[in-house]
Amino acid sequence: MSENDLLFNSGILTDERQGAIRPPSGLWGAKKGGLVIVECPQRIPCNPCATSCPAGAILPFSDINDTPLIDYEKCTGCAICVAACPGLACFVIDLAFSEDKALYKLPYEMLPLPSKGDTVTCLGRGGEALARGTVEAVIEPKRDKTYVVHVSAPREFANGIRAIKAGV
Query: Whats the size of the chain, residue-wise?
Result: 168
Q: Is 166 in the site for ligand SF4 (CB under 6 A)?
A: no
Listed ranges 7-15, 50-58, 95-103, 133-141: which one lies at the site for ligand SF4 (CB under 6 A): 50-58
Q: What part of residues 22-41 is at the interface with ligand SF4 (CB under 6 A)?
A: 36, 38, 40
Give the per-residue contact string, 64-103, with ligand SF4 (x = CB under 6 A; - = no).
----x------xxxxxxx---xxx-xx-x-----------
Q: How far lies 82's CA from each of 1, 9, 19, 35, 52, in Å?
A: 30, 24, 17, 11, 10
Closer to ligand SF4 by Cβ: residue 52 or 152 = 52
Q: Which of 49, 103, 148, 149 binds ligand SF4 (CB under 6 A)?
A: 49
Closer to ligand SF4 by Cβ: residue 81 or 158 = 81
DSSP track, 9-77: HH-PPPTT-TTEE---HHHHHH-TT-EEEEE--S--S--HHHHH-TT--BPPPSSTTPPP-B-TTT---
C-alpha to C-alpha distance for 82 and 145, rounded to whole angstroms: 11
Closer to ligand SF4 by Cβ: residue 81 or 118 = 81
Q: Nearest CA to 48 among 141, 160, 158?
A: 141
Which residues lie near ligand SF4 (CB under 6 A)? 36, 38, 40, 46-49, 53, 55, 57-58, 68, 75-81, 85-87, 89-90, 92
